[in-house]
Amino acid sequence: MHSHFINKFIFKSYLIILLISQYLTFVYSQQLPDEIHEIAKKCIDNLYNEKFKAAKINVKQILKKYPEDPAGYFFYAVVLQYEMEYQLSLESEDEFYHYCDESIINGERILEKYPDDMWAKFFIAGSNGLKGKYEARFEKWITAFKHGWTSIVLCRELLEKYKGMVDLLYGISTYNYWRCVKTKLLLFLPGVEERREESIKLLYDLQTNGFYTRESASIDLIRILINEKRYIDAISVADSFLKKFPVNLLCLWERAKAQYKEKQYNSAEKSFISLLNRVTAEDFDNNCNIILCKCYLIKIFYEKGEYSRCIEEYKSLEKFKISGKYQKIVDKDLNEVTLLYKRILHK
């Protein structure tokens, strides 16, 4: 009887030790070293509050103190990518690729000495993922998925060993989703399983469980839901995100697009007029954003049968000139509204 209780006690103690060890592995695996972690979190908050100068200052603290660590270069590339998307600009493209490459180079140097260093692998994966995401923005799907696949191989390797690194699921879920969507065009890509719903579920989970990817998971989730024609769900995710970051331009853009797609034309009109007022007031060359706002307003007016407003808005586009390399950002929308304009004239 006595030995029974001893064995029971030993078994319970073993379970407790096991649970503690799993917890410690989860924390260790998920969070960067304290000082980098704290700066990285400040950087992410500043980034999604669109305080780009403050976000860059945050990252430079990491670069100054840890010049051989890939973390600082990775986070600086993140800031540059977001800032370019915010401004609809290509101005920092070369600098963006430089910081991605520096992060990869520094990570590989660490792996030469410490082949199992998880954070070196994490940032190599992340930097390749950033390149893939940037190129996907311009529908360069072949190179986007090549960079993405390099990232995913490392992410999966890390997840097998460190299940607590849930942020790795962000890259895996977005890659799997868009690979499924584009697989008919890119049949050579590794893997052909249908994983769209699984990817969407992971992104929903990351909004709560992600350490460094909660915000980016939300923005990508909204875009994916729009692509799935789940416009009400996209608006719901956007509204939730805007409670924390009420002025976030990318989220406001996606919500306005979802309203338009859902045929909530009055709400969409208010949203795009508000966006137009905001982007017009910016202190940098924001013609791409202005043109896109006006294009959506033209499409809304057309759907509402307000053709005189369509014509007026279309003619106002002539004032806003953009250089050749930026043309690809607005070409698709400009072609759409030009077709609508011609239809109106024909009527």
* Tens-binned pLDDT, residue by residue, of the chain (347 aa): 444 444 443 333 333 333 333 333 333 345 677 888 899 999 999 999 999 999 999 999 999 999 999 999 999 999 999 999 999 888 899 999 999 999 999 999 999 999 999 999 999 999 999 999 999 888 888 899 899 999 999 999 999 998 888 999 999 999 989 888 887 555 455 554 578 899 999 999 999 999 899 999 999 999 999 999 999 999 999 999 999 999 999 999 999 999 999 999 999 999 999 999 999 998 888 999 999 999 999 999 999 999 999 999 999 999 998 877 778 889 999 999 999 999 999 87
- Residues 277 and 288: their CA atoms lie apart, in Å, by 14
Tell me which fold the domain 2-259 belongs to. 1.25.40
Where do the structural domains in the chain lie, given as residue ranges?
2-259, 263-347
299: Cβ contacts below 8 Å, ≥ 6 apart:
260, 336, 337, 340
